[in-house]
Amino acid sequence: MSTSHLHPFDAALALASSAAGLYTGHTSPAYWNMVGPFGGITAATLLQAVMQHPDRLGEPLSLTVNYAGALAEGPFTLQATPVRTNRSTQHWTLSILQPDAEGAPVVTTTATAVTAARRETWGVGDMPMPSVPAPAQCKRITPAFRSEWLQRYEMRPVSGALPEQWDGSGDTSLSQLWLRDAPERPLDFCALAAMADIFFPRVWLRRARQVPAGTVSITVYFHAGSDLLATTGSGYLLGQARAQEFRNGFFDQTAQLWNEAGTMLATSHQVVYFKE
């Protein structure tokens, strides 16, 4: 399989299927983080397995990914099982496995997902997009540290960028930024899942200290259907993230993603490990 002409995101998400629900893939150097893949690319890969499953009904509604252990560089196995299909929702369980030193399969990641049939109903946004300067008015930043995956996104911070000095002076956990794939790529559910994990650990901002930190579990709720994703295309999204509580080595962060027209595409939450 040639992936040379693919967008790096599509190359990273390439899966081969040997049976319904059983896939093999390979970690992507283009989305490498410090000790494993960017968590967002792992979430996107799990969702990709659902999207490619021959029995899938409906579009993504929710995705929860639990990072049980770092994926090692190399191939992996992914299992996606539709455990129950209802009239309007379908429930999935997923896992990623890699062999340990003795070759025995070890779970690196567990996940659940729900796909659903979207219907025309009453609707309203109850969390309006904040009023911020347009993307062109916000300067594009170059990655502040050497994680390859940071090169895969165009980021234009509005507020709450990485501290310039790690001096313990932080007083907020709120970040807002314009973002999109680099190079540009039309938005789909997998890309949206990845973008929900784009925010650096809130503890870095709140403390102005770059302590070791890593996502333990993330949940993404998809409010957009495929028609809204198509309308959004390769435009900028506004991402917003903040923490609620830091305690005893863990904190949570909540996030929202709107398109430039101000329509909510996804909301997300995660719980993150941090080291003192």
Tell me if 66 contacts a copy of itself by CB under 8 A.
yes
> How far apart, in Å, are the Cα atoms of 41 and each of 34, 86, 231?
13, 29, 23
**Pattern 112-131, a copy of itself, x by CB under 8 A:** x-x-xxxxxxxxxxxx----
Q: Which of residues 198-217 bind a copy of itself (CB under 8 A)?
A: 202, 206-207, 216-217
Could you tell me which of 41, 33, 12 has the C-alpha nearest to residue 197? 41
> How far apart, in Å, are the Cα atoms of 109 and each of 117, 124, 149?
27, 35, 19
Q: Which of residues 216-235 bind a copy of itself (CB under 8 A)?
A: 216-217, 219, 221, 223, 225
Tell me if 152 contacts a copy of itself by CB under 8 A.
no
Measured from the CB of residue 146, what is the shortest distance to a copy of itself in angstroms?
26
220 forms beta bridges with 63, 268
Tell me if 107 contacts a copy of itself by CB under 8 A.
yes
Measured from the CB of residue 11, what is the shortest distance to a copy of itself in angstroms?
28
**Total length of the chain:** 276
Assess contact for 249 and 216: CB atoms under 8 A: no
State the number of binding residues for a copy of itself (CB under 8 A): 63
Q: How many CB atoms lie within 10 A of CB 122?
A: 4
How far is Cα 242 from Cα 244, in angstroms, rounded to an integer?
7
Residues that bind a copy of itself (CB under 8 A): 61-62, 64, 66, 68-69, 83-84, 86, 88-89, 91, 93, 95, 106-108, 110-112, 114, 116-127, 173, 202, 206-207, 216-217, 219, 221, 223, 225, 242-250, 252, 254, 256, 264, 267, 269, 271, 273-276
